[in-house]
């Protein structure tokens, strides 16, 4: 996780935070990554926790003009950097 965080942090000026959380933590299983972990495949989740911060998340009021495309692009740059360098 330290390597993934460092790669993402080096790809943009977007703040990157990490935690290694147990499966029992509420909302940690809101992604498909947990199923890979259950089968002993290394996996991680990247999230902006929008569902915890945005009252419009996944509602009719969640419209395109409310999205932050610049920040979204930075997340994509970070994920792309991870895929290019490889994680072992």
Total-model pTM: 0.74
**Tokens 């290694």 sit at which residue?**
20
DSSP designation for 59: S
Please enumerate in sequence order all residues whose Cβ is within 8 A of that of 88, keeping only pairs 6 or more positions apart, or say none: none
Does residue 38 carry a pLDDT above 70?
Answer: yes
HSE-CB for 22 with a 13 A CA cutoff: 2
Does residue 2 carry a pLDDT above 70?
Answer: yes
pLDDT band at 69 (very low <50, low <70, confident <90, very high): very high
For the chain, the domains span 2-19+26-85
The pLDDT value recorded for residue 87 is: 59
CA angle 64, 48, 36 (to 5 degrees): 115
Does residue 12 carry a pLDDT above 80?
Answer: yes
């Amino acid at each position: 996780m330290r390597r993934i965080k460092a790669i993402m942090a080096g790809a943009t000026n977007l703040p990157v935070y990490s935690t290694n959380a147990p499966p029992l933590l509420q909302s940690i299983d809101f992604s498909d990554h947990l199923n890979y972990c259950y089968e002993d495949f290394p996996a991680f989740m990247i999230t902006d926790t929008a569902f915890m911060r945005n009252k419009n998340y996944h509602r009719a009021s969640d419209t395109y003009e409310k999205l932050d495309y610049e920040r979204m692009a930075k997340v994509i740059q970070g994920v792309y950097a991870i895929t290019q360098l490889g994680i072992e």
